[in-house]
Amino acid sequence: MSKKRQHVHQYIKIYPHAQGKTVINKINGVWACALPDCTHYMPHNVEGQVEGKMSRCNRCMEYFILDQYNMQNDRPMCDTCANPSGIVIPESYDPEKMEVRTYLANKSGRELHEVTDAEIEHNIQLRRIAMNKM
Single residue of 15, 18, 30, 59 touching Zn ion by CB under 5 A: 59
* Binding of Zn ion by 33 (CB under 5 A): yes
Using CB under 5 A, pick the residue from 57, 100, 104, 115 that binds Zn ion.
57
3-class SS at 128? helix
Instruction: Return the range that interacts with Zn ion (CB under 5 A); candidates 8-16, 83-91, 95-103, 125-133.
Output: 8-16
Using CB under 5 A as the binding rule, whether residue 40 contacts Zn ion is answered as: yes
DSSP-derived secondary structure letter, 75? S
Distance of alpha carbon 56 from the chain centroid: 15
Considering the rule CB under 5 A, would residue 81 count as an interface residue with Zn ion?
Answer: yes
Q: Please report which helix (H) or strand (E) contains residue 50, including its range.
A: none
Alpha-carbon gap, residue 122 to 134, rounded angstroms:
19
Nearer to Zn ion, 66 or 105 (CB): 66
For 22, phi then psi, to 5°, come to -90, 115
- The residue ranges that bind Zn ion (CB under 5 A) are 9, 33, 35, 38, 40, 57, 59-60, 62, 78, 81
